[in-house]
Amino acid sequence: MKLSLLFIGIFIAHCKGEVRIAGGEVTTINQYPFAAALLTNVDGAAFIQRCGGSILSRSAILSVASCFYTGDQVHQARNWRARVGSSYSASGGTIYFIRQINIYSTFEPTSTRYDVAVLRTTFDMVFQPGVVEAAFIAGRSYSFSPNQEVRAIGWGEGSNTEEPTTQLRHVDIWVVDQQLCASRYNNDPNIDENVVCAGWIDVGVKGQCPGDNGSPLLDSNNTVVGIFSWAQGCADLIHPGVNTRVSAFTSWIVATALQP
């Protein structure tokens, strides 16, 4: 079942109760019109793509909190922009200023636990079917099936040796068992019920990389079920990508996106 809050452009799907896409292919914004390239100038004068996001409403974008920290210091909203409606991170579409960065209250910058954020744009984004649209996000009852196939998208690195791409890419990977994922990260306590791991375990080649942070993990219906948080390496065969589990934060995401 899918519930839509049309008056703000957020769609919530209830189903079953800094990083580039590796091993993937280039794609266009028309396939993922909710995708946003997040640009920053925290490292210099020019704004460059560092993270990704998913459009929630005409003024709200979903991403991860860790994108907006240097050490334990949160960035100023004025240091960020969002490019929407373009397949390219460095050209096309429309750029919107960010007026507010809403960080989940218990986010831990050191461990990246509870890694979720909602950005608010200064002006409302102009929606255009197939170019700029709101995403569907997982509802609180969403659950994953074993080895479920998912899709990652983003503008990050294509491998450990490649520079970030300027064109949007996508790749199909698989949900990794939670206990197996934790064991691959030396039983890291942060691999808990609030995250979902995904990759091509024991093979590698395909996966999420630096620059993809904040970009969505999608199910077969293009519902945003995860937000890429971190990983060891890029599409590593031992270590899958760790994504914030959207269903664990649905209520907060919606409430924050609804704020004036």
Backbone dihedral region for residue 47 (phi beyond 0: left; psi -120 to 50: alpha; all else: beta): beta
**Residue 17 pLDDT:** 37
Average pLDDT over residues 197-213: 90
pLDDT tens per residue across span 38-68: 999 998 889 999 999 999 999 999 999 999 9
Taking alpha carbons only, the member of 159, 126, 135 closest to residue 63 is: 135
- Name the residue with higher pLDDT: 222 or 10: 222
**CB 237 within 8 Å of CB 202:** yes
Taking alpha carbons only, the member of 254, 211, 187, 238 closest to residue 22 is: 211
Identify the band that residue 19 occupies on the pLDDT scale cut at 50, 70 and 90.
very low
**Residue 3 pLDDT:** 36
**Residue 219 pLDDT:** 98
- Domain 142-247 in this protein, CATH class: mainly beta
Identify the band that residue 165 occupies on the pLDDT scale cut at 50, 70 and 90.
low
The residue count of the chain comes to: 260
d(CA 18, CA 8): 29
DSSP secondary structure of 228-244:
EEE-SSSS-SSS-EEEE
Token pair recorded at residue 32: 């993922």
Token pair recorded at residue 51: 């993270």
Average pLDDT over residues 219-237: 94
Residue 8, pLDDT > 50, answer no
- Percent of the chain scoring above 70 in pLDDT: 88
* Count of other CB atoms within 10 angstroms of residue 47: 17
CATH fold of 2-16+33-135+248-258? Thrombin, subunit H (2.40.10)
d(CA 249, CA 236): 27
| Mean pLDDT of the chain, nearest integer | 90
d(CA 33, CA 90): 16
Taking alpha carbons only, the member of 170, 177, 230 closest to residue 206 is: 170
**Residue 2 pLDDT:** 40
Domains 2-16+33-135+248-258 and 142-247 share a fold: yes
Token pair recorded at residue 25: 């292919």
Sorted by where each begins, the domain ranges of the chain are 2-16+33-135+248-258, 142-247
pLDDT tens per residue across span 213-222: 999 999 999 9
Identify the band that residue 7 occupies on the pLDDT scale cut at 50, 70 and 90.
very low
